[in-house]
Amino acid sequence: MIDAAPDLLLNATDVAKHYGAVVALRSASLAVRPGEVHALMGANGAGKSTLVKILTGGVRPDHGTIDVRGKPFAAHSPTEARRGGIVSVYQEPSLIPDLDVRSNLRLTRTPPDAVRHWLAELGLPDLDLASLVRELPLASLRIIDLARALAIEPDILMLDEMTAALPANLTERVLEVIGRLRGSDRSVIFISHRLIEIGAVCDRATVLREGSTVGVVDVTAGSDDRIVALMLGDIARGGPVEAAQASVRAGRAADAIPRLTTRNLTVGTKLSDVSFDLYPGEVLGVVALEGQGQDELFDVLSGSERPSGGELLVDGSARSFRHPADAIRAGLVYVPADRAEALLMQRSVRENIALPFTTRFGAWGPIDVRGERRKVDGAIATLQIDTRAAGEVRRLSGGNQQKVTIARWVAGGVRTMLCFDPTRGIDIGTKQQIYQLLRDLAGAGAAVVLYTSELKEIQLACDRAIVIFGGRIVAEIAVADADEATLLRAAYDLRPEELMPEEVASAGVAAEAAEAADAAASEPADPDLGAPA
């Protein structure tokens, strides 16, 4: 698998990094030949971002060796990484908003003529270097970032999800330029969630899983499946589906009014044309890779952000939320992944649980202490919250904190609960309790939307799942078919030929429609994005 060392431009072997007891990287290796475009792949938590941080000088590895052109590479800052031959372009621009483009180039001592050359190559020949960065559209900033990195002529150019939110025409241009770098004596490390881009420009792919390099694949016509299989490991073959649960959830009255309906919901360029129905008694799973528009979807549903287009119906009547309070009044309550977003960390468990319903109908009068206590006790019992450290929520364990965020809403009676990755970073026992609780809520007639970054949760807690990719719903999968392999393939927008023959047609149409719409949407680079207030 590993070539003779002198031939390699970058050779990282057995790189490991621990954060306390947490192992971020166990034993990662990455070998990049001169002149190749090398993909770095891995599911969430595989250690990809830690390896990227090590290569860009943000983090120092615990052990392992990294050589660039045969010389040891050790960087403590992006400047040192650059001196060592590695320059990176990230998903979000690393340009200074309050300086003009020319000053930004001066800051990194990049020759403007070379940047102009690459800007022209990348399709921005007329960019005025005197423009203030803050006033430029987001897509242009990514291109400037890339042109600046290319102008530095690094040994290794690392592109970390840089195409993630680029319009299709610019992505194509970027891929074309990267493709032309092949065969020189420089290399590119390419990180993307889009397998289609990997197939288009990459020569080989290194796959990480659970902190270790599990394989290096030559990218060819049929290598996508192999890459996905490596990312998944054992589970690719698919564990037994818990069919018993699925059958319990089957009954839904055909004439029921959906609790929640979205029609063509759109948020800027992040979310387009999202339509689904959510029925009482149902848990709807949402699956997406990072940054595919799920954040915007939940922001809209919970009233934090207003959609730029489309409709939102609650119990069949159209609603428009100006504030989270409007959503709560309509019965849509939100459980965020980041518990600090929801809880008053310095206050007690009781106050936290009581807050939503005292603010709801407490108005200005005195708090109904007895009624409040009854509800809070009920919620604490239902969720089995460990109240030994109830005086201050911040002293509770993560799992118990998350239970409190849910209990806040359960105490007041739940109609629709929006859960955004509620089990992130909590222990397995509490996770089980949360799945059970979501099932119980649904059993009692509530409707639940559950976004999760752990694919196996779909089969543990949901009735069906929708998959979002590039801001669009690309698949809807029944729980019986929603094993991890199917979900992951769908999340990467791969057509699930072998696995789900009956869905090939519909998924294919959806993907084509998405591509066509992508192309159409990319024409006007959204001017709103470039000018934050």
Nearest residue (CB) to other proteins, 96 versus 236: 96
Residue 338 to residue 358: CA distance in whole angstroms: 23
Shortest reach from residue 74's CB to other proteins, in Å: 17
CB nearer other proteins, residue 160 or residue 421: 160
d(CA 345, CA 192): 37
Nearest CB to other proteins, comparing residues 31 and 95: 95
* Strands, sheet with 271-278, edge to edge from the N-terminal-most edge strand: 271-278, 260-267, 309-314, 317-318
**Residue with Cβ nearer other proteins (105 or 482):** 105
Kindly write down the DSSP assignment for every residue of 197-245, as one continuous string.
Answer: HHHHH-SEEEEEETTEEEEEEE--TTHHHHHHHHHHGGGGG-PPP-HHH
Q: Shortest gap between Cβ of 118 and other proteins (angstroms)?
A: 15
Give yes or no for a contact between 357 and 375, defined as CB atoms under 8 angstroms apart: yes
Q: Are 12 and 65 in contact (CB under 8 A)?
A: yes
Tell me which residue of 250, 263, 260 sits closest to 309, measured CA to CA.
263
Alpha carbon distance 282, 476 (integer Å): 15
| Residue closer to other proteins, measured from CB, 14 or 80 | 80
Closest distance to other proteins from the beta carbon of 79 (Å) = 4
What's the closest the beta carbon of residue 129 comes to other proteins, in angstroms? 8
Residue closer to other proteins by CB (options 4, 130) is: 130
132 versus 480: smaller Cβ distance to other proteins: 132
The distance of closest approach from Cβ of residue 77 to other proteins in the complex, given in angstroms and rounded to an integer, is: 7
The smaller minimum CB distance to other proteins, of residues 273 and 305, is found at 305
Q: How far is the CB of 128 from other proteins (least distance, A)?
A: 9
Per CB under 8 A, residues contacting other proteins are 77-79, 82, 88, 90, 93-99, 103-104, 106-108, 112-113, 116, 130, 132, 531, 533
H-run or E-run covering 163: none
| Pairing status of strand 22-32 against strand 10-19 | antiparallel
Q: What is the DSSP string of 355-416?
A: HHHHHHH-TTS---HHHHHHHHHHHHHHHT---TTTT-GGGS-HHHHHHHHHHHHHHT--SE
Residue 77 or 432: which CB sits closer to other proteins?
77
CB neighbour list of residue 387: distance below 8 Å, 6 or more residues apart: 349, 380
CB of 131 to other proteins, least distance (A): 9
What Cα–Cα distance (Å) separates residue 214 from each residue in 22, 87, 453, 492? 20, 25, 21, 19
Rounded (5°) CA angle 423-424-425: 110
Which residue lies nearer to other proteins by CB, 12 or 149? 149
What's the closest the beta carbon of residue 268 comes to other proteins, in angstroms? Answer: 15
Helices (H), 14-154: 48-55, 78-83, 101-107, 112-121, 138-152
Structure tokens at 144: 């400037």
Nearest distance from C-beta of residue 116 to other proteins, angstroms: 7
Please state whether beta strands 317-318 and 204-209 pair in parallel, antiparallel, or not at all (unpaired). Answer: unpaired
439 strand-pairing partners: none
As measured in angstroms, the least distance from the Cβ of 508 to other proteins is 40
CB–CB of 157/187 below 8 Å?
yes
Residue 51: half-sphere exposure toward Cβ, Cα within 13 Å? 37
